[in-house]
Amino acid sequence: MPKENGGNKRTGLLEKVQEDAKALKEFFREKGKEELEGLKEPEKTQLFRSIFRVKHDETPRNRALSVLTNLFFHLHPAKINRDAVRYSYTWGMGGITFYLFVVLTFTGVLLMFYYHPTKIQAFRDILYLENDVPFGKLLRNMHRWAAHLMIIAVWLHMFRVFLTGSYKRPREFNWCVGVILMVLTLLLSFTGYLLPDDQLGFWAVTVGTNMARATPLLGHEGPFGAQLGMTPYNDVRFALLGGSIVDANALLRAYIWHCIAIPLIAAIFMGVHFWRVRKDGGISGPSPVMLESEIKEEKGPRPVILRPSGMR
């Protein structure tokens, strides 16, 4: 008996373990199945909801909420003029410009890991980047070509804004913000041109900054510059270059303008620009055409500067 019992005991334990294992297996299978099934609808998961905060389904309410409750999306309104989503109206150029700015920031930060703004290192860093850093060449190319593309996109954006008359009331000020953004874009590109410290950048920047010599009043070769005591060692060009020639100081200044100051200023202006697009009533059109006969006659003098803007 004890033998038997002992045997029973042993088989009992074994059976129990086997049974438990079976039950556990069943339990896990059930759970796993359930959860796998659940993963087919990831938008119902706790993780998803914790991130996006609203249910994802195709009700108008939730479509609106998914835009409004997301920091990045809420730059947009929830709804938009049905014709304004057509490519033919905006050419998407403002958005593309912004996207290129983001690409440039991303690739630019990566480039900064490899670049020293000194006369000894700068050119070698570029060589190193081109020949030894994994994907370094691709990185540099992308940064360069995205910069060129951004300039083209800004010009085309301005062109379309002009042709659709979108600078007219109430968007006058946002047009001005845009002009500043365009200048900043050009300056960003220009300051970056010097950084490889090669002949191309050196002479381009030399040609460019030589014009600053001729600034009226403030340049030593400009009208009335000499009379005001301007010399090559104290005029605006000297301030831009940190010296009288394009050298180590100019490289450092270009670097700081290019990597810190101008991107920061441009980002702030972009924030204002986007905010104003919304506050000025969203994208300007395509709006219903207005006929000549519908122009309201102006009564009395028109104070161009003092008229409160934002109303039609």
Partner 1 sequence: MWGDWHQVWEIVSQPDNVPIVALLFLVPFYVWYACRQAFATDRLIAQLETDPQLAKTHHRKVFPWKAGWDREVHVWPYLMRIEFLAAIIVTIILMVWSITLNAPLEEPANPNLTMNPAKAPWYFLGLQEMLVYFDPWIAGVVMPTLIIIGLMVIPYVDANPLGNGYYTYRQRRFAIWTFLFGFLFLWVIMIVIGTFIRGPGWMWFWPTQTWDHNRLEFAVNRNLDQIVGIDGSWLAHLLPQTLKASSPIIARAIFGIFPLVLYVILAAYLIHLICNLTAFSRKIYKRMTLLQIVTVQVLLVLMLSLPVKILLRLLFRIKYIWVTPWFSI
Per CB under 8 A, 302 contacts partner 1? yes
CA distances from residue 209 to 96, 119, 151, 195, 199 in whole angstroms, order as listed: 30, 19, 20, 15, 15
> Which one-letter amino acid corresponds to residue 74?
H
Tokens of 279: 């506050």
Binders in 137-166 for partner 1, by CB under 8 A: 137-138, 140-146, 148-149, 151-152, 155-156, 158-160, 162-166
- Partner from ligand HEM, partner 1, none contacting 239, C-beta within 5 to 8 A by type: none
Residues 171-200 that bind partner 1 (CB under 8 A): 171-173, 175-176, 179, 183, 186, 189-190, 193, 196-200
Q: Which residues of 112-128 are buried (b: 16+ CB within 10 A; e: fewer)?
A: eebbebeeeebeebbee
Is 275 an interacting residue with respect to partner 1 (CB under 8 A)?
A: no
For position 299 contacting partner 1 by CB under 8 A, the verdict is: no
- At a CB cut-off of 8 Å and minimum separation 6, what does 175 contact? 161, 166, 167
Tell me the C-alpha distance between 123 and 53, whole Å.
49
Kindly state whether residue 11 participates in binding partner 1, applying the rule CB under 8 A. Answer: no
Q: Site residues for partner 1, window 240-269 (CB under 8 A)?
A: 245-246
| 132-161 binders of ligand HEM (CB under 6 A) | 154, 157-158, 161
Which among partner 1, ligand HEM, none contacts residue 136 (Cβ within 5 to 8 A by kind)?
A: none
Which contiguous run of DSSP H or E holds residue 85?
none
Least separation in angstroms between residue 310's CB and ligand HEM is 14
Distance between CA atoms of residues 189 and 183, nearest Å? 10
289 binds, among partner 1, ligand HEM, none (CB under 5 to 8 A by kind): partner 1
**Binding positions for partner 1, 116-135, rule CB under 8 A:** 123, 126-127, 130
**202 interacts with partner 1 by CB under 8 A:** yes
State the DSSP string of 98-140. Answer: HHHHHHHHHHHHHHHTT---STTTHHHHHHHHHHTSTTHHHHH
* Distance between CA atoms of residues 102 and 106, nearest Å: 6
Q: How far is the CB of 222 from ligand HEM (least distance, A)?
A: 28
Q: Is 203 near partner 1 (CB under 8 A)?
A: yes
Question: What's the min distance (Å) between Cβ of 85 and ligand HEM?
Answer: 11
Phi, psi dihedral angles at 91 (to 5 degrees): 60, 10
SS3 of 132, please?
A: coil
- 14 or 226: whose CB is closer to partner 1? 226
Nearest-approach distance from CB 303 to ligand HEM, in angstroms: 22
CA distance 151 to 157: 10
User: Alpha helices, DSSP H only, in 132-195?
Assistant: 136-163, 172-194
| Binder of ligand HEM out of 119, 167, 240, 252 (CB under 6 A) | 167
Contact between 204 and partner 1 per CB under 8 A: yes
